[in-house]
A and B are shown apart, each in its own frame.
Chain A
Amino acid sequence: MSADTPLMKEPDANPEGATPTGSTTDRAELIRFTDVTKRFGGTTILDRLCFSVDAGKHVTLIGPSGSGKTTILRLLMTLTKPDEGTITVGGQQLYPASEKQCREVRKNIGMVFQQFNLFPNMKVLRNLTEAPVNVLGLSKDEAEQRARELLDLVGLADKCDAYPTQLSGGQQQRVAIARALAMRPQVLLLDEVTSALDPELVAGVLDLLRDIARTTDITMLCVTHEMNFARDISDQVLMFDSGQVIESGSPEKIFGDPTHERTREFLGAVL
């Protein structure tokens, strides 16, 4: 774990117009949000949000429902666009940017969804090979070999020829994790990946993610309500409220000695 600089909280910095893009790239900074605002209808979900994540770090976003955590992942995955501000990934701008540039940046990012979102019309193996073949240009054999290795990693080597609906929720989510990893992303976004699972299936998925966090140098951004899991895998925890990071720090600090009143309230309610 590094010093306390991988994530910078700058809640009130940057008066209008000031966008310090590219000013801090020398620290292997991978992701940077600068003054990002996102509104849905009349509601402001993210309010001039600034933070950054260094390469290889595991960051957990916690906070009450509606505080904008999932929106951050969706912005990074280009599933939604910010109303204001800039987002950079690996020094390349994701917003504002052309569709072509977005596509390039997006290739380095994988996402696992709450509802798995596997392709039900494809067998498990093809769920894992579809993008590597059609996006990365791997041969079918290469992609299948990679897929089989990943299915082995997630403990589902025998399910290559099953359809997703023939699997349990936990198995589907493990396939979804393997599918995201098949693209060898630099960044993995995990959006409440155990929320839709039966309680007895949660542990298997979390153990798998702990393994991945421990054995790879992939950068992880994780929205979760599993506080023990957050404590285990995180280098950094960000506490969100009302579209802002109100507190950030190591899991020991956030869970052990939170400074912000709102953080204490929230943790008191969920722990």
Chain B
Amino acid sequence: MNFDWSNLGDFMPAFWDGVLVTLQALLGGSLLAFSLGLVWALAQRSSLKVVSWPVKAVAEFIRNTPLLVQLFFLFYVLPEWGLTLSALATGILGLGLHYSTYTAEVYRAGIDGVPAGQWEAATALSLPRSRTWIAVILPQALRRVVPALGNYVIAMLKDSPMLMTIGVLEMLGEARQFGSQTFQMNESIVAVGIAFIVIAYPASLLLRALERRLVR
């Protein structure tokens, strides 16, 4: 295999563009997955079947179909329905939506893990339902789920190259484009691989530190 590291310099401007797009997708996708996931988790607990049942069904559907198919659907079908988004926005929506169905399960487990005594103490103090959620249950549940949510951020990072298929030039997309222009694929691909490790490993260390801080 031939490696000529001298042409890596030519790849660098595109590479940094790719890093930026990957980080944007990761940040946007994570925020969407974290917030939507919580919405799904709460909706699934609703005593109103008309709320909980459809949410459960849709979440199950999304979780059991491939992200790639969902990305194609969002990218090719949504415009037909009059909703045209940029490739990156579509990618963030796809990632966020897909992973929100996983984070919903994480939140569910976290909420179930709050001892019944906490609900009872809140009732005994006559705290309104909304206050019980906001001040008592969610802070305790969220603390428990940070490690699991963090794992999904890293999983999302590793799934972000799929956005290439809808034309988002994230790191791998840039590498592929560079390779097809210069016929030198090896160096740029290796650089992207290293970049994934350089982002993911410190991220997991950060999560572990956060976990230690939150466990009390």
Chain A residues close to B by CB (< 8 Å): 77-79, 103, 106-107, 109-111, 113, 115, 117-122, 130-131, 134-135, 163, 165, 179-180, 183
- B117 closest partner in A (C-beta): A117
A103 and B129 alpha carbons, distance in the complex (Å): 11
A135 and B126 alpha carbons, distance in the complex (Å): 7
- B143 closest partner in A (C-beta): A121
Whether, in the assembled complex, B58 has its beta carbon less than 8 Å from a beta carbon of chain A, the answer is no
B120 with A130: CB separation less than 8 A: no
Tell me whether A130 and B127 are in contact in the complex, defined as CB-CB below 8 angstroms, given that A115-B117, A121-B136 are known contacts.
yes
Tell me whether A134 and B127 are in contact in the complex, defined as CB-CB below 8 angstroms, given that A120-B140, A121-B140, A165-B216 are known contacts.
yes
Residues of chain A within 8 A (CB-CB) of B139 are: 121
A113 with B128: CB separation less than 8 A: no
B117 with A119: CB separation less than 8 A: no
B140 with A131: CB separation less than 8 A: no
B128 with A79: CB separation less than 8 A: no
A121 and B216 alpha carbons, distance in the complex (Å): 8
- A182 closest partner in B (C-beta): B125
- The 0/1 profile, CB within 8 Å of A marked 1, for residues 119-131 of chain B is 0110111111001
Residues of chain A within 8 A (CB-CB) of B165 are: none
Query: How many contacts A-B (CB < 8 Å)?
Result: 62
A183 with B126: CB separation less than 8 A: yes
3 closest A-B pairs by beta carbon, nearest first, are: A131-B125, A117-B121, A117-B117
- A99 closest partner in B (C-beta): B129
Q: Give chain B's interface residue range (CB within 8 Å of chain A).
A: 10 to 19
Taking each of B121, B128, B136, B140, which has the highest tally of chain A beta carbons within 10 Å of its own beta carbon? B121
Chain B residues close to A by CB (< 8 Å): 115, 117-118, 120-121, 123-128, 131, 135-136, 139-140, 143, 216
Chain A residues touching B, majority SS: loop
Q: Which of A103, A115, A122, A180 contacts B124 (CB 8 A)?
A: A180
Kindly list 15 other residue pairs between chains A and B, CB separation below 8 angstroms, not including A77-B124, A78-B123: A106-B126, A107-B126, A109-B124, A110-B125, A113-B117, A113-B124, A115-B117, A117-B117, A119-B136, A121-B143, A134-B131, A135-B126, A163-B216, A179-B125, A183-B126
A14 nearest CB across to chain B (Å): 30
A-B contact pairs, 16 of them (CB 8 A): A103-B126, A106-B126, A110-B124, A115-B117, A117-B120, A117-B124, A120-B140, A121-B140, A130-B125, A130-B127, A131-B125, A134-B128, A134-B135, A135-B126, A135-B127, A183-B125
- A114 closest partner in B (C-beta): B117
Residues of chain A within 8 A (CB-CB) of B115 are: 117
